[in-house]
C-alpha cells in the first residue's frame, strides 16, 4: 500500500530524515517510536504534503502512484489521512460544513455519488457515537476553543468520517488523559480492517497497550534503526532511548 | 480651491443654483441651501490635499458630462422591481427611482405609527422643520454642502413614540437612465421614543448604460430608548460613484446598529457614517464588510462621537481585497470630556488576496475623559497558511479552502445580522462576489 524508499528530507537546510525506508501492507498497524527530534513528525508532515519540508532524495509510492507528485488534497482523496499533532483552529468554519465539503470532494474524486443530506447526518451520528465525540462540538467552529484532548478526538472523528485507506496518527496520545486515550484507541480499533492500514507515531509505549501494532519501528536520527514486533515497544520502554545510541548505525560508524 | 478639471461641472452647478433661485420652494429650506452654496463655493470638490480625502481621489470621476435632469422615459415597472426584493424577507418596499420617491411602486404602509413621504412635500411638517439640516456640518463636508444646496427629493420617514415596525422598511434605490446622471438624494429619518425599526437600504441598477454619480445625505434622529437596525447593502453597477453620508443622532438609552456591506461593482464607494451619542446609556454598534475587486475603491469613514457618560460603542469593519483593489478605512472614536465611563471599541481587519491590493487603515482614538475603557486596532494580513494546508489535507481543493477561509474571515460580521433572510442574502452576495473574483483571476 505504502512504500517509502530511502527518503531524505530537510527543513531550512537541516537534514531531518536521512534515508528512511518503510513498507506497509493493507490490514497492518505500524508503530513508529523514537525520541524527540528523531524525525517522527517530519515523516507525517511529508506524507501529508506539507511544502515546508523539502524532499532531497527518495521515493514514496501509495498504491503504486508517486505520492510526492501529488497536492495535499489529492493525497487525501487518494486515501491518506494524517491526524495532526497540533490541529489548527479555524474560527468561522463550522466542523459540519468542513466535513461536508471534504466528503463531497473526496466522493466526487472517486466518481462516487454525493451523500444526501439525510445520509450525511446519519453518518455523522454514527461516527460521533463510534469515537464518543461530543455532538455539541460538531456544531462549533473547527477546533476553536477546543481543549487539547477535544482537538485530538476531533482528528479521530474526522478520520472516522473520511474513512481513509492509510491513517497516520501523529502523537495523537500526547496531551490525552487516560480516559480519552482509551476512547481514541477504542475508536481506532473499531476502524481497523483488512483493507486499511495505520501508522501510529508515538513517543510512549502507553498507547500501544490499547492499539496493538503488528510492527514497531524505532526512528533515531532520521533513520529506522530497529524494527520488530509489538514486544520491541516494551523493550524500548524498559531500556529507554539511550539504548538506541548503542545500536544506531551512525554511531557505529563514528 | 476649484481644480480645473471640474470647472465645467462646477459652472453647471452654479447655473443650476441660479435657476433654482427663481422658483423658491420654501423660505427656510432656501436659506439653508444658500448657506450651503456659499460653503460649497469655499470648499469646492475635495482634492487629495484634504486630509479626509487623502487616499480617495474623486476628481477623475467628476470629469464626465452629467445631467441633473430626471430621464423622462424609464422602463421601470412594478414587475421589474420584484427581482430586487430580498428573498423570503417580509418587508415594506419603498422605491426611489433616480433618487426620487415613487409611491406608486412602493408598498402602502398600513402601520399608522409609521409615515413615509416624499421629502420635498414635507417642508411644512413641524418634525421636518425641527430636525432638518441640524446635524450635518456644512463647513466640513464638501459633498454634504453640495447635497444641501441641490437636493431635489428623498424620503421623510417618521415613527411615532412607542411605534414598533412589524416588518422592516426596505428602501430600494433604482437607477434607470441612458444619460450620465448626477443625483443627490436627501433623507430625513426621525424615530420616536421607545420606537423599534429596521431600515434596509439597497442600491441596484435597473437599466443603466451610463455613469451615475450619487451624492446622498441622510440625517437620522433617534428619540430616547429608540432602537434602530440600519442596513446598507451596496451592490451598484460599474460606472457608479456612490458618496453616502449618514449622520446619526442618538438620545438617552437608544440603540443604533449599522451593518454596512459593500460589494464589487461601483467604481468608487465612499461612506461617511457619523454617529453622535447625545445622551447617556446609549449603545452604538457599527459593523462593516467590504469586498473590493480590481480597480475599485471603497472608502469607509466613520466617526463615533461620545458626548455623554455611560455609553458603549463597538465597531468592527472587515475587508477582503483582491487584485489592484484600493480600500480605505478611517475610523475615529472621539470621547469628550463629559463622557466618563465610556466603553468604546474599534477594530479593522483586512484580508489581502493579492500583493498589489492596497488598504489604508487608520484607526483613531481621541480621548478627553479620564475614566474610560477604549481600544482600537487594525490588522492587514494574508491567509493563515497553516489553516489552508489543514483544509487541503482533508481533501478540500485550494479554491474551496480559500472560499471557506474568506467566509470564516467575514463571519464575525455576518453572524451579527439578526434577520436570517438578510444574513442569507448577504452570504449569497459574498459567494457571488467570490465566484466573480475567481473567474477574474
- Would you list the domain boundaries of chain B? 4-383
Which of A233 and B193 is assigned the larger pLDDT?
B193
d(CA B364, CA A227): 63
**Closest residue of A to B390, CA-based?**
A88
Nearest by CB to B389, from A72, A93, A105: name it: A72
Q: Cβ A48–B393 below 8 Å, yes or no?
A: yes
Q: Cβ A93–B395 below 8 Å, yes or no?
A: no
Give me the DSSP letters along B179-225.
S-EEE--EEEEEE-TT-EEEEEEEEEEEEE-S-EEEEEEEEEEE-TT
pLDDT at B119: 94
* First CA to last CA distance, chain B: 41
Which of B336 and A249 is assigned the larger pLDDT?
B336
Residue A93: its chain B contacts at CB < 8 A?
391, 404-405, 407-408
Q: Cβ B396–A105 below 8 Å, yes or no?
A: yes
pLDDT at A62: 96
Nearest by CB to A92, from B392, B400, B409: name it: B409
The candidate with the shortest Cα–Cα distance to A65, out of A149, A1, A137, A148, is A1
**Closest residue of B to A48, CA-based?**
B393
Tell me how many domains chain A contains: 1
pLDDT above 80: residue A253: no
Give the number of beta-carbon pairs within 8 Å between A and B. Answer: 78
Share of residues in chain A with pLDDT > 70 (%): 97
d(CA B249, CA A162): 54
**Closest residue of B to A89, CA-based?**
B387
Q: How many residues does chain A have?
A: 254
- The domain of A234 spans 2-253
Q: With a cut of 70, which residues of chain B have pLDDT below it? A: 1-7, 21-24, 71-79, 205-207, 437-441
Q: What is the CATH number of the domain that holds A201?
A: 3.40.50.300
Question: What are the tens digits of pLDDT across the range A142-180?
Answer: 999 998 888 999 999 999 999 999 999 999 988 888 888
pLDDT at B232: 96
Which of A237 and B134 is assigned the larger pLDDT?
B134
pLDDT at B28: 87
pLDDT above 60: residue A250: no
**Closest residue of A to B405, CA-based?**
A93
pLDDT at B383: 83
Per DSSP (E only), the strands in B254-354 are 255-262, 268-277, 283-292, 297-306, 312-321, 326-335, 343-352
Q: Is the ipTM of this complex over 0.85?
A: yes
Amino acid at each position: 500500500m505504502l512504500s517509502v524508499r530511502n527518503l531524505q528530507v530537510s527543513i531550512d537546510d537541516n537534514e531531518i530524515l536521512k534515508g528512511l525506508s518503510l513498507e506497509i501492507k493493507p490490514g497492518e498497524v505500524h508503530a513508529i517510536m523514537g525520541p524527540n527530534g528523531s524525525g517522527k513528525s517530519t515523516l507525517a508532515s511529508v506524507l501529508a504534503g506539507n511544502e515546508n519540508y523539502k524532499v532531497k532524495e527518495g521515493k514514496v509510492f501509495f498504491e503504486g502512484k508517486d505520492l510526492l507528485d501529488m497536492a495535499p488534497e489529492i493525497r487525501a482523496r487518494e486515501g491518506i489521512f494524517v491526524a495532526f499533532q497540533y490541529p489548527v483552529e479555524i474560527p468561522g468554519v463550522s466542523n459540519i460544513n468542513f466535513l461536508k465539503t471534504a466528503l463531497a470532494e473526496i466522493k466526487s474524486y472517486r466518481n462516487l455519488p454525493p451523500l444526501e443530506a439525510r445520509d450525511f447526518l446519519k453518518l455523522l451520528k454514527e461516527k460521533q457515537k463510534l469515537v464518543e465525540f461530543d455532538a455539541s462540538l460538531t456544531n462549533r467552529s473547527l477546533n476553536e476553543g477546543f481543549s487539547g484532548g477535544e482537538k485530538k478526538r476531533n482528528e479521530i472523528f474526522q478520520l472516522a468520517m473520511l474513512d481513509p485507506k492509510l491513517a497516520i496518527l501523529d502523537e495523537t496520545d500526547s496531551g490525552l488523559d487516560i480516559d480519552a486515550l482509551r476512547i481514541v484507541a477504542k475508536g481506532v480499533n473499531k476502524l481497523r480492517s483488512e483493507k486499511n492500514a495505520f501508522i501510529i507515531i508515538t513517543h510512549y509505549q502507553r498507547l500501544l497497550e490499547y492499539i496493538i501494532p503488528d510492527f514497531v519501528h524505532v526512528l533515531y536520527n532520521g533513520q529506522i534503526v530497529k524494527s520488530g514486533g509489538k514486544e520491541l515497544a516494551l523493550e524500548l520502554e524498559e531500556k529507554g532511548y539511550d539504548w538506541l545510541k548503542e545500536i544506531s548505525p551512525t554511531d557505529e560508524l563514528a | 480651491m476649484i481644480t480645473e478639471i471640474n470647472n465645467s461641472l462646477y459652472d453647471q452647478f452654479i447655473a443650476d443654483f441660479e435657476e433654482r433661485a427663481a422658483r423658491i420652494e420654501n423660505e427656510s429650506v432656501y436659506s439653508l441651501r444658500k448657506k450651503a452654496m456659499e460653503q460649497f463655493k469655499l470648499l469646492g470638490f475635495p482634492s487629495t490635499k484634504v486630509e479626509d480625502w487623502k487616499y480617495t481621489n474623486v476628481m477623475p470621476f467628476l470629469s464626465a458630462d452629467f445631467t441633473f435632469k430626471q430621464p423622462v422615459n424609464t422602463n421601470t415597472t412594478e414587475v421589474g422591481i420584484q427581482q430586487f426584493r430580498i428573498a423570503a424577507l417580509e418587508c415594506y418596499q419603498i422605491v426611489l427611482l433616480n433618487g426620487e420617491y415613487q409611491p406608486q411602486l412602493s408598498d402602502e404602509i398600513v402601520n399608522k405609527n409609521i409615515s413615509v413621504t416624499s421629502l420635498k412635500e414635507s417642508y411644512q411638517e413641524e418634525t421636518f422643520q425641527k430636525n432638518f439640516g441640524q446635524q450635518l456640518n456644512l463647513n466640513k463636508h464638501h459633498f454634504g454642502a453640495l447635497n444641501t444646496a441641490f437636493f431635489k427629493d428623498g424620503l421623510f420617514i417618521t415613527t411615532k413614540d412607542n411605534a414598533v415596525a412589524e416588518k422592516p422598511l426596505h428602501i430600494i434605490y433604482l437607477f434607470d437612465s441612458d444619460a450620465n446622471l448626477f443625483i443627490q438624494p436627501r433623507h430625513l429619518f426621525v424615530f420616536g421614543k421607545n420606537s423599534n425599526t429596521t431600515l434596509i437600504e439597497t442600491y441596484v441598477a435597473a437599466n443603466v448604460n451610463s455613469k451615475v454619480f450619487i451624492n446622498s445625505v441622510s440625517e437620522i434622529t433617534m428619540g430616547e430608548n429608540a432602537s434602530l437596525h440600519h442596513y446598507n447593502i451596496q451592490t451598484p453597477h460599474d460606472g457608479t460613484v456612490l458618496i453616502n453620508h449618514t449622520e446619526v443622532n442618538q438620545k438617552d438609552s437608544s440603540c443604533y446598529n449599522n451593518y454596512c456591506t459593500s460589494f464589487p461593482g461601483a467604481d468608487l464607494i465612499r461612506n461617511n457614517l457619523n454617529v453622535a451619542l447625545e445622551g447617556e446609556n446609549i449603545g452604538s454598534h457599527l459593523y462593516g464588510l467590504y469586498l473590493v475587486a480590481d480597480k475599485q475603491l471603497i472608502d469607509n469613514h466613520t466617526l463615533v462621537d461620545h458626548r455623554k457618560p455611560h455609553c458603549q460603542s463597538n465597531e468592527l469593519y472587515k475587508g477582503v481585497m483582491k487584485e489592484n483593489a484600493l480600500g480605505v478605512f478611517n475610523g475615529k472614536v472621539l470621547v469628550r470630556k463629559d463622557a466618563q465611563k465610556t466603553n468604546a471599541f474599534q477594530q479593522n481587519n483586512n484580508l489581502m488576496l493579492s500583493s498589489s491590493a492596497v488598504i489604508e487603515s487608520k484607526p483613531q482614538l481621541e480621548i478627553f475623559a479620564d475614566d474610560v475603557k477604549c481600544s482600537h486596532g487594525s490588522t492587514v494580513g494574508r491567509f493563515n497558511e497553516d489553516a489552508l494546508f489543514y483544509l487541503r489535507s482533508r481533501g478540500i481543493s485550494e479554491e474551496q479552502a480559500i472560499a471557506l477561509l474568506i467566509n470564516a474571515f467575514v463571519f464575525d460580521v455576518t453572524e451579527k445580522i439578526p434577520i436570517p433572510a438578510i444574513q442569507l442574502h448577504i452570504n449569497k452576495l459574498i459567494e457571488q462576489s467570490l465566484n466573480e473574483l475567481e473567474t477574474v483571476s
